[in-house]
Chain A
Amino acid sequence: MDADATEPIRQRVLAAAGRGSPVRIIGGSTKQFYGREVPGEPLNMAAHRGIIAYDPAELVLTARAGTPLAQIEATLSQSGQCMPFEPPHFGSTATLGGAIACGIAGPARAYAGAAKDFVLGVTLMNGEGQSLRFGGQVMKNVAGYDVARTVVGSLGSLGLLMDVSMKVMPRAPQSATRVFELGAQAALRQMSEWAQQPSCISATCWVDGRLFVRLSGSDAAIQTAAARMGGEAHAAGGEFWSAVREQSHAFFGGAEELIRVAVPALCAPQTFSGECLMEWGGSQRWLRNRSDIEAVRAAARSAGGFATRFRTRDRSGDVFEPVPAAQMRLQKTLKAVFDPRAIFNRGRLHAEL
């Protein structure tokens, strides 16, 4: 099943570039809902798959973009390692390329880092069908501008991610979950207090008046932390965190719009009305029952954050926070550096890109 499909993909790119006709990049089709509507023929990356290099002692894994996340996780797990940013799959066919292009991270993000913190290098196919290598397969590399980390979260707007090298980490020996009955404000204060101390907290989530905290480390470390923090043990911790990560938790059910807000962690809960689930110590908040995106955006902006229409029926407008004009000019110029004919995922991130 592993195969290098670089050449057929290049032919598709050259053909599309020749005609100046846009393509929609598709990995495992699990995150097609994310971002603005995109015109063009589908360009499927799933056939370009396989782990190219992995040596546990190196803490580096390199894989083709179409490699299923599940395959990567299974391989890492055999050596007791993981992708610390816990990328959500949103379906069994999720690929590495899709995860990196979307740049979405799971519950551990505030404690372990985001996708961009772990990407070391990429091969990017530009709009002229050239394979360009940026970054590398080593821990530190400051040669050239850091295009490898720049493409994380760019939703395919700069080019085709062909392969990705990322830093992987040992999985914690054990994890356990504690639950606390707390209001939103008290939960935020509590999380902030914990965050100022050394701890083995690896995830936090507040929903329905309860604060869930995941502890990761050795048995002894978890027991010490649990005794210090209090709360109740939560037996089904594994299921809970996976439901939050995969958005299969009841909070995410239903068809109405889901807004994601990123704000400084201590932003007051009453800033946003409606149903709310908070993660990452309070810096990621999910809102339901809010269709007034402009009001949410204004509130988020005044708190120093921004809002995304994460799941929405209206994908023609600003799904992502509008960018100030001066920065947009720069972003457009950068897109043109890699994709001069704007064939890749035209408008998926912003109408102008």
Chain B
Amino acid sequence: MALIDELRRALKRQAVLTAREACVAFECDALTAHRQIPDIVVLPESVEEVQAVLRICRAHGVPVVTRGAGTGLSGGAKPVAGGVLLVLSKLNRILELDPLRRIARLQPGATNLSISNAARPFGLFYAPDPSSQIACTIGGNVAENSGGVHCLKYGLTFNNVLQVKILTIEGEALTIGNEMQETCGLELLALLTGSEGMLGVIVEVMVKLVPRPERTELLLAAFDDIARCAEAVAAIIAAGIIPAGLEMMDAMTIKAAESFAHCGYPADANALLLCELDGVSADVDWQILRVSELLRTLGATLVRQAADAAERDRMWSGRKSAFPAVAKLAPDYYCMDGTIPRRRLSEVLAQIAALSQQYGLPIANVFHAGDGNLHPLILFDAGKQGELHRAEELGADVLGLCVAAGGTVTGEHGVGIEKLGPMCLQFNADELNAFHAIKAAFDPAGLLNPGKAVPTLARCADYGALHVHQGKMPHAHLPRF
């Protein structure tokens, strides 16, 4: 086949995989229910090789799906039949790290954690810290505008990226953004961040590094009642305090995390809040006092401050291993990712519990409460006839709740293939048309990651027909399509 021959000429022979046994390793990202064995996988080792791949694919009119580490949770890196899977994991070098300018320049396949590790000797770190940070790549982070537990205070990927270099599907190189993070012309960096590999292939990223805080403290609070825990979240923020992290867990997650990580959580609590405060020492002093006092006033049954870094790590370990811990409770789990206004937290959690009852599938909640970013984990058994489908239906209904509460169908995991349906609840036809036109401005032939991130209007028509009768369609008075 001419395509494969050309790719083999452009890349090292072993960098082009076509054997099924080799390609099967790339059949899905972390949304494992959806698989497609790629026909061709390429593993370039330089930007020039990436450029060559794009030019060849463009010339052949062959779709290209870019993949970093494949930790995405929405199927963004799922291969497309008949396409090329462009895997950037070999481009994993840190090109430059300058403590004076507080920047790092990275190849797209550098892992998130490698940046902070390299910056540590200089007292600096890269702030966005998705739980997948040992594995996920900076290219993937930019493509998803990933978050982490420290977003509320330190921002998302967008707020911490200075410049990206992309290749268009034509193989044309564009440098977008600058070291000052200042807009020059139209703010294209905003369009690219979170664009899920639809607009261009990110081949280099410059990020901002920030000084490690002088002091970090962690408070753990337990509550009998999840609604009261949610109130505490709002109260802390209303008191003028922006915690570095503010994470909540429900009863099922607390128990699972405790038996998994032995992290010292009160296993009988109905809700648990972890509140990390950092900054200059004198500020952390008063914030610790104020937050502890608030938590007690709002009915926390336990408020504990980590005595030292070791205890802090132990207390965090439960939260950080919450997904694998919950995963032990059932053969399969499905992680959702909606964001809602914080004031609706307890109401939406109650509605989620009701849906869980209705579908007969348990849901564990562990989430970025400070951001109002929910991660309901739906437990199911894919081995049982129809359960996967039921879990997906339940998930879509949960996202419908988020939209109805004034929120969004995805806070940080992206749309991918997973949330194409729920996207129709959040955006109307005119808005979706604008998205398709933006895609076409970058990629007129529609070869980059086709079929992801933005639903077609036809798909929405089907989805609307399915879901509108349940009364969840927002803007019901607007014309539909």
Contact = CB atoms under 8 A, between A and B. Distances in A.
B127 to A, nearest CB: 12
Contact of B241 (A170, A197, A266, A350): A170
B180 A150 contact: no
B152 interface: yes
A320 B99 CA distance: 30
A142 B434 contact: no
B454 interface: yes
Given A137-B406, A170-B242, A305-B178, A146 B280 contact: no
A283 interface: yes
B124 A306 contact: no
B282 A145 contact: no
A138 B238 contact: no
Contact of B427 (A80, A143, A333, A337): A143
Contacts of A192: 100
Most buried by B among A136, A141, A305: A141
A198 B210 CA distance: 8
Most buried by A among B195, B199, B240, B419: B240
A330 interface: yes
Contacts of B427: 133, 143-144
Interface stretch (B4-12, B62-70, B257-265, B435-443): B435-443
A153 B454 CA distance: 25
Dominant SS among interface residues on chain A: loop
A116 B189 CA distance: 11
Interface stretch (B316-324, B337-345, B388-396, B456-464): B337-345
Interface string B423-447: 1001100110011011101100000
Contacts of B434: 126, 132, 147, 337-338
Nearest to B427: A144
A217 B178 CA distance: 30
Interface in A270-304: 283-284, 304
A126 B435 CA distance: 13
Contacts of A264: 101, 179-180
A153 to B, nearest CB: 4
Interface string A293-327: 00000000000111000000000000011010011
Contact of B280 (A81, A143, A147, A217): A217
B33 interface: no
A60 interface: yes
Interface string B112-124: 0000000000111
A66 to B, nearest CB: 22
B242 to A, nearest CB: 7
Contact of A139 (B281, B371, B419): B371
Contacts of A263: 180
B211 interface: yes
Interface string A91-124: 0000000000001000000000110110000000
Interface string A240-251: 000000000000
A113 B155 contact: yes
A114 B426 CA distance: 27
Interface string A164-187: 000001110100000000000000
A349 B185 contact: yes
A219 to B, nearest CB: 8
A267 B211 CA distance: 21
Contact of B341 (A126, A138, A330): A138
Given A57-B234, A145-B195, A134 B431 contact: yes
A48 interface: no
A326 B185 contact: no
A195 to B, nearest CB: 7
Nearest to B181: A114
Nearest to B415: A143
A149 interface: yes
Interface residues of B, number: 89
Nearest to B213: A198
A36 to B, nearest CB: 13
Interface string B365-407: 0001011110000000000000000000000000000000011
A59 to B, nearest CB: 6
Contacts of A113: 155, 159
Contact of B190 (A130, A150, A221): A150
Contact of A140 (B147, B237, B426, B453): B147
A132 B281 contact: no
B313 interface: no
Nearest to B157: A142
Contacts of B414: 142
Given A55-B343, A330-B441, A196 B124 contact: yes
Contact of A142 (B145, B182, B186, B370): B145
A306 B212 contact: no
A149 B212 CA distance: 28
B145 A196 contact: no
A326 B442 CA distance: 11
Most buried by A among B185, B413, B442: B185
A244 B193 CA distance: 32
B298 interface: no
B430 A138 contact: no
Contacts of B122: 196
Contact of A136 (B190, B191, B408, B454): B408
Contacts of B190: 116, 146, 148-150, 152
A138 B372 contact: yes
A139 B373 contact: yes
A142 B409 CA distance: 8
A30 interface: no
B286 A220 contact: yes
Contact of B238 (A56, A148, A334): A56
B311 interface: no
Given A136-B408, A200-B280, A264-B179, A145 B435 contact: yes
B279 interface: yes
Contacts of A327: 174, 176, 185, 188
B402 to A, nearest CB: 9
B335 to A, nearest CB: 15
Contacts of A321: 184-185
A73 interface: no
A11 interface: no
12 contacts: A58-B343, A126-B430, A142-B410, A142-B414, A146-B194, A149-B158, A217-B280, A221-B283, A264-B180, A323-B185, A330-B441, A334-B438
Given A141-B407, A144-B454, A331-B188, 14 more contacts: A57-B235, A57-B237, A134-B431, A136-B406, A139-B151, A139-B411, A170-B242, A196-B100, A196-B123, A198-B280, A199-B280, A217-B282, A224-B280, A338-B434
Which 6 residue pairs spanning A and B have beta carbons closest together?
A: A149-B190, A170-B240, A220-B282, A140-B411, A221-B282, A333-B441
